[in-house]
Amino acid sequence: MAVLVYDCIFSVLLFILGIYVAISSSDFINKKSHYVEIVYWCLLIIAVANLILAIHKLVKQKYDKSNKFTFSKKLTAFAIITILFAMSVDYLGFYVPAVIFVFICSSLIRNNNKIIAFVVSILIVTLLNVIFSHFLNIEFPKGIFADLTLFR
Amino acid sequence: MEYLMVFMDIQLWLAMILAMAAGIVIGALPGLTPAVGVGLLVPVTFGMSPVTGLVILGSIYVGAVYGGAITAILLNIPGEPGNIVTTFDGYPMARGGDPARALGLAGISSTIGGIFSVLVLILLAPPLAKVALRFGPGEYFCVAIFGLTVIVSFSSGAMIKGIVSAVLGLAIGLIGQDPIMGYPRFAFIPELVGGVDLIPCVIGLFCFSEGLNLVLEKQMSLANGGISKLSYASAFKDILSNKFNLFRSSAIGTIIGIIPGAGLAMGALISYNEARRFSKNKQLYGKGSPEGLIASEASNNAVVGGSLVPLITLGVPGNAVSAIFLGGIIIQGLPIGPELFTKHSLVIYPFLIGLVIAHFILLALSLLGVRYFAKTLQLPMKFIAPTVCLLSVIGSYSVNNNFTDVFIMMAFGFLGFFMKKNGYSAVSLILGLILGPMAENSLQQALLISRGSFSFILSPICLFILALSVGSLLMSLYFDRNNPCNED
């Protein structure tokens, strides 16, 4: 059921996107851009087709009841932690947030021995840090720890 | 015999093995393409002899193209866009308890595909390069159309959803500058004026979304009921029973490699599609079919030799790696083009022989490494999922060293997760994103050249490609209609 509702929402969003592309492209300098025209017509037609198909299945109850997708708390927490990690790297540097991220996520997935989880987190981050920063010369943000050579 | 004397040096062999191993590691890391690997080694080859330098660059290129298959098979994470197709059958085979077989088949078919393309490079390079150079904007547009028809075949069973994904990919491909007029469009932030970078999108759709998926796994590790060992006899039996598939996929990969700008992903997608079309076991595709895995891996490595054809014969780099290779050749003070074969045969032929040897080293390293790579599946899930997400963040950051790419990656990751859970195809979206800008660019150029007329499609090459597209589309629709499992 939920999948079909998502299909309807997705189709409506695609239709809105198609309208937006059509309106915005009328402001372009070369108004006869065939390609943009083709794309927004495709968007509008396919969005309507997908919506009709989803509504048809909803009405005919032709959906797989086992195919139900809901957001779990664990997944939501994991997603939020990942976003926070990415946002904090610029301010705190790469190393510390990465260790905290791996440690919290591993504890969130399965709550086992915290000390082992922490040590493994340090090892994983150190290994990746060595590969990317030292061998591949990719410079990660250093953040407030810029002056400490340990965290470079 | 004179050409083989170079390979009497043990140091060259050691350097080739090290470069190959480094290439495999680079290829396996998300965000790091073969171009990064070759680019990192170019300055190192400056002080070496021309043959040694070029052979080492060739080794890292070959290794990096194969490396992406390891994570694609074990973790459903393509190291780079070319390995997306490898995930279709490699990952189900690995999850089914056969990771060693999947890795073994990938190693052997990559070797055969790669050697095939190098032999083509040695024997047929000049005439093939001339044909490739006859490709104008109109022909490129037709190639893009052919690629888009492949989407229909990939979406078998849920065609509307496949097409929805592809059209969304085409729409995302509009972001950036108009290819002819240069004005920005649909770029909401300054960082998007140059367009959406493909690598963060691939990492998001395939790696980050897989990381989110792994969080929901109830198993302790990815190994579902133990891991079987690689049986060399059965692996070679699989390869022998797929000899025509291997030949066809290697040929497609080589041809796609020769066409400038077509890329690894396109070769693998077309080869996989053709393998499925000619297969007697179509129902096994996407569920761990050895045929599909062999097709994608043979084609991927066949692109290596193919991409060097226009570079070595005409001095035209067809992709980013060949452009970097061009730098490597120039650094060595060598001329580009036919003179390489006439005046510098003592450099170019040993280099080509070195590429063949590099593929044998790849075979040895891949088969020796199978049991160690496969152990990845036994690692605890609680560390795999955060490591995959961490790698996704690092990989997307390393593309341009900025966090905009990281947030783009995450947005595509959530989109990819939603799409997978609701039956939409992430592959179709990426295909739309790859082919969209190529189609737009070439269409606009072709229309400019023909003063707004679509007469360019009447060229023999265009007509041939369009006929192939129509044939491909009709056959896909026919098979889809006769597929009892289809949804729409």
Integer Cα distance of A80 and B323 in angstroms: 40
- How does B14-42 read in b/e, with b if 16+ C-beta sit within 10 Å? ebbbebbbbbbbbbbbbbbbbbbbbbbbb
pLDDT at position A152 is 47
pLDDT at position A44 is 92
Q: How far does the CA of residue B395 sit from the closest CA of chain A (Å)? A: 9
Q: Which two tokens stand for residue B428?
A: 């179709």
Comparing A17 with B206, the larger pLDDT belongs to A17
pLDDT at position B221 is 61
Residue B314 has a CB neighbour count (10 Å cut-off) of: 19
Q: Which two tokens stand for residue B266?
A: 């396109």
Q: How far does the CA of residue A43 sit from the closest CA of chain B (Å)? A: 6
Contact criterion met (CB < 8 Å) for A46 and B164: yes
pLDDT at position B67 is 85
Q: Which element (helix H / strand E) includes B176?
A: strand B176-177
Single pTM value for the model: 0.78
Q: Cβ neighbours of residue B219 under 8 Å, at least 6 residues apart?
A: B381
Q: DSSP state, A148?
A: -
Give the best residue of B151, B391, B422 to mutate against chain A (max A CB count within 10 A).
B422
A130 interfacial to chain B (CB closer than 8 Å): no
Strand partners, B176: B185
Q: DSSP state, B186?
A: S
Mean pLDDT check: name the lowest of B16-25, B166-175, B259-268, B290-299: B259-268
pLDDT band of residue A70 (cuts 50, 70, 90) is low
A30 interfacial to chain B (CB closer than 8 Å): yes
Comparing A25 with A16, the larger pLDDT belongs to A16
Integer Cα distance of B386 and B401 in angstroms: 21
pLDDT at position B206 is 81
pLDDT band of residue A54 (cuts 50, 70, 90) is confident
- Number of Cβ pairs < 8 A linking chain A and chain B: 148
CA distances from B318 to B76, B166, B258, B325 (A): 28, 25, 7, 11
CA distances from A45 to A8, A19, A140, B217 (A): 14, 11, 44, 37
Q: Which of B46-55, B286-295, B352-361 has the highest mean pLDDT?
A: B352-361
pLDDT at position B260 is 65
Q: How do residues B338-347 score in pLDDT, each as one tens digit?
A: 677 777 778 8
pLDDT at position B469 is 80
Instruction: Give helix B263-278 / helix B243-258 axis angle, nearest 10°.
Output: 150
Q: How do residues B76-98 score in pLDDT, each as one tens digit?
A: 877 777 788 888 888 888 877 78
Give the best residue of A8, A14, A17, A39 to mutate against chain B (max B CB count within 10 A).
A39
Mean pLDDT of B190-203: 81
Q: How do residues B262-316 score in pLDDT, each as one tens digit?
A: 666 778 888 888 888 888 877 788 888 888 889 988 898 888 888 887 777 766 6
Instruction: State yes or no: ipTM above 0.90.
Output: no
Q: How do residues B401-431 score in pLDDT, each as one tens digit?
A: 888 888 998 999 999 888 888 888 887 888 8
A42 interfacial to chain B (CB closer than 8 Å): yes
Which one of A35, A79, A102 has the shortest CB-CB distance to B212?
A79
Contact criterion met (CB < 8 Å) for A105 and B386: yes
pLDDT at position B36 is 74
Residue B64 has a CB neighbour count (10 Å cut-off) of: 30
Q: Cβ neighbours of residue B51 under 8 Å, at least 6 residues apart?
A: B6, B346, B347, B350, B351, B354
pLDDT band of residue B488 (cuts 50, 70, 90) is very low
Nearest CA to B439 out of B169, B141, B142, B166 is that of B141
